[in-house]
Amino acid sequence: MKSAFSILSLMLMTLVSCSAFSKVPSADAYAQCMNRTKLDRLNCQAGCGMIVQQCYDEGVADINSQIAKLNEDINIKNGAACASFVVDYLSEAARMEVNVGKQASNLVGWVGSEMALNFARQRLDNILLIQRSCRTQ
């Protein structure tokens, strides 16, 4: 009985921690694409990787679009200091992503694409953080 309770507790904690620490929005473009193309990927005979790459590309493009809109919003509604900080941050992030991307291209698998998606998500989170902090000033 005690071991069953322990197992049940462990399963519940795992479930809660996975949902609590998941940074992936439930409706992001990458997840939508992966859901939309699931059957295509399962039934694929050739070029299957191109389907997955398309999903990574859609995810990054959607996030970049959100960042561009936020950047415009910050330029319009917040002070020059915040707008300048966003430009500087995006410039530094782009430089770092290019350098890391060059190294990731030497690795096998989806590392480069996964990192590009993660970097885009991180940029979006950081721009949202900047926007929130600028609103409080």
pLDDT above 70 (res 136): no
- Distance between CA 36 and CA 28 in Å, rounded? 12
Integer Cα distance of 20 and 17 in angstroms: 5
Identify whether the C-beta of residue 108 lies closer than 8 Å to the C-beta of residue 54: no
DSSP structure class, residue 109? S
What global pTM score does this model have? 0.76
pLDDT at 132: 94
* Residues whose CB falls within 8 Å of the CB of residue 43, separated by 6 or more in sequence, listed in order: none
Number of folded domains that form the chain: 1
| 113 Cβ contact list (under 8 Å, min separation 6) | 52, 53, 56
Phi, psi for 44 (deg, rounded to 5): -65, 140
At residue 85, does pLDDT exceed 60?
yes
Length of the chain: 137
- pLDDT tens across 23-80, in order? 445 569 999 999 999 999 999 999 899 999 999 999 999 999 999 999 999 999 988 9
